Every structure is written in C-alpha cells, then in structure tokens.
Copies of this chain bind each other. A is one copy, B any other.
Amino acid sequence: MHFASDNAGPAHPKVMDALIEANSGYAMGYGADRYMDEVRDRMRALLEAPDATVYLTATGTSANVLALASVCQPFQTVFCTPVAHINVDECNAPEFYTGGAKLTLVGEGDVMTPNALRQSIDAEGTRGVHGPARGPVSLSNVTERGNVYTAQQVTDLCSVAHSYDLPVHLDGARFANAVVATESTPAEMSWKAGVDVLVFGGTKNGLMGVEAVIFFNPDHAASFEHRRKRGGHLFSKHRFLSAQMAAYLRDDLWRDLATQANANMARLAKGLQASNQVSFTTGAFPDANMLYFDAPRAVHRHALENGATYYIEAGRIDGSDPDEILTGRLVTDWSQTDQQIDEFIGLISQKQS
C-alpha cells in the first residue's frame, strides 16, 4: 500500500528490457547513440512537431531549470504559483541555473488563472531597472496538488504570457497523466496551446530516471547543450537514458502507464469517497494520479500503522488529538494492484475516528 510518490515504485519491465538490450557492445557517448536518434524521431512524431529540439536529462529538477535558464535572463523574474515545484521543491535550483533570476508568485494556490497571471505581470512592469524584468511563465500540468489544466486552460494562460512577449515553460513531470486525464493529444497540450518549452516527464511514470526537454522554437534551444554540460547533466553513457525514453515512446507505453496510474487513483478516490471518512482538499474528484485529502488524525494513524505509506503535512501525525483534521497526500503510479488499493480503502473505512 505505497502511495507516497510516483517516484517510489519500480521501473516498468519493458524499460528494464530496453536497458538490457542497450547494454551490448560499444556506443558513442554524450548523445551520439542510435537510441537517441529513435527518441528524437518518435518524440517529434508524437508531438506533431518535426522541427522540435529534443534533449534528455536524468532528473526533473535539472530538466526544469535547464529549460528555464534557456529562456530566462539573470535579471528577469519567472512567473509561477506559490506551490510550483520550481519554487518549493528545487532548493534554489532555478535561481542557480538562471544566474540569479527571481520567482514571482502568482495567486494563492496550485492553479494559475489568466487574470492572476496578468495582474502579476503588470505589477512587475512598474519599477524600471529597480525591479526585475519580466521573464518566462512556468506552468505545471498536472499541478503540484493534483489538479489538471485542460488544453484550453493552458492556451488561455499562454495567450496572456505571449501578449507580453514572454515564453512559456511547462513542467510536465506528470505530463502523460494530464494528457490522459484530459483526453487531449500531446500536441494540443503543448505547442498548440502555446507552450514554448516542455518537460515531458518519464521518471514518475515508469522510467528509472529520464526526462525529455523539448523546445518548439529552435532559438530557445541554442544554449541548451552547453548549459546541460556545464550543469554536469550530460551523460557519457547517454545510451542508457535514450534507451529508457525510446521504450517509453514505443507502442505508447507512456500512455498506457499514465492511464493505469490515473485509473488506480480513480479506484482509490472512489473508495475513499464512499468511506465517508475523508474529504478531498482540492474539492473535485481527482482527474489524474494525485489526491490531497483531509481526515482525522486517528484515521491517518490507523492506516499508517497498518502498512500504508503516504505523506502527511510535516510533523503533524504525532499530535495528541485523534479528531484533529490532517491533510494527507496520495499518489498512484502504474504499479499498484487493485488489491493494494482496496486494502487501503478498507483501512481508511474501518476506522471510526
């Protein structure tokens, strides 16, 4: 019953098979391997973007900040939500890679609205050289609280950004989950909506550790390779990244895994809803693979003490009042079984707070 994160599960067997196959004989390093050629072709086809520039890195943070640094000057500011991964979970990596850019926090929660974005951009344009210049807009889809923007919503946000000539970065650590949840195509959810640089995540969706960075505007990509190298993110044995991503793109594996992850969450959320023990923090039924929910401490404790694993807001589980409401986070990936999910629902349901 492991719902702590979609980066805690195993890599998919097809990915392991691809690694084993790739581990044969010699291959030129640093991206000059034949699997990277396959990745490039498949990614362009999938995204309906024959001129896209495609690179790989091994971590989500590196993918995000290399993408951002490619479209941001050190004296600019990046527009993102307060809970954006780049703001709260990358330990100043955006500031580091951009050479000191600032993050301007838009709105209050995880979902950015066009109005809030416009207000923030306007507010950053009033101080001349005393404040930062306006820089890229960074969106996350799926958001860090499990919400999903539709392609239309992404389009609306990109329109605001572009009306100020600002580029848009999409942190797609769970891009596959968002595409599946909205029944859109990868193209509709990225460049057709106005996204300039996309991080198409693989690590949280069944790979060992590979993310693709895709630039739809070749000018934006000009400095990426040097930036990746000087960040220490260019792999000598690059074939082992390429092989994972190639497997991910073959036969729509990315889609199958995200579909399964989302389905696992749907089953989980439906069961929890029926339990009458919890309420969904973000209000709506989860469309993708992440859920924040409120439940009494006693309910959480019962689950955690009986084999479930997931995160509670830091340090809160130890309080004494069994009725105090705490927020838990559940994440699914392709690997949970129906039995595990149902067992967890059972744990939550049976406990009378």
Contact = CB atoms under 8 A, between A and B. Distances in A.
Interface of A: 2, 4-5, 7-11, 16, 19-20, 23-30, 57-66, 73-77, 88-93, 95-97, 99-103, 126-127, 129-133, 203-204, 208-209, 223, 225-237, 240, 309, 314-315
B65 A92 contact: no
Given A10-B23, A10-B24, A240-B209, A230 B96 contact: yes
Contact of A223 (B73, B230, B234, B314): B73
B131 A91 contact: yes
Given A26-B8, A100-B96, A229-B130, A75 B60 contact: no
Given A20-B16, A60-B236, A209-B240, A230 B131 contact: no
B237 A11 contact: yes
A233 B314 CA distance: 24
Nearest to A133: B226
A178 to B, nearest CB: 19
B232 A65 contact: yes
A225 B28 CA distance: 32
Top 5 closest pairs, chain A to chain B, by CB: A62-B232, A7-B236, A126-B314, A75-B226, A95-B100
Given A126-B315, A237-B208, A232 B231 contact: yes
A132 to B, nearest CB: 5
Quickly give the copy total for this chain: 4
Query: Which secondary structure dominates chain A's binding surface?
Result: loop
Contacts of A203: 236-237
Contacts of A11: 23, 237, 240
A330 to B, nearest CB: 14
A11 B95 CA distance: 35
A147 to B, nearest CB: 21
Contacts of A91: 75, 129-132, 226, 229-230
A75 B28 CA distance: 24
B29 A5 contact: yes
A276 to B, nearest CB: 28
Contacts of A99: 74, 96, 99-100
Contacts of A20: 16, 20
Given A74-B99, A75-B230, 9 more contacts: A8-B27, A11-B237, A26-B309, A59-B233, A59-B236, A63-B232, A74-B92, A92-B102, A100-B230
A102 B91 CA distance: 9
A92 B132 contact: yes
Nearest to A69: B74
Interface centre among A25, A126, A236 (most CB of B within 10 A): A236
Contacts of A29: 5, 7-8
28 contacts: A8-B26, A8-B237, A9-B25, A10-B25, A10-B26, A26-B309, A60-B236, A62-B231, A62-B233, A75-B92, A75-B230, A77-B92, A90-B130, A90-B230, A91-B129, A91-B131, A91-B230, A92-B230, A93-B231, A95-B102, A96-B231, A100-B230, A127-B314, A129-B234, A130-B229, A132-B226, A208-B240, A209-B235
A7 B97 CA distance: 27
B16 A23 contact: yes
Nearest to A57: B232
Contact of A237 (B7, B95, B96): B7
A95 B88 contact: no
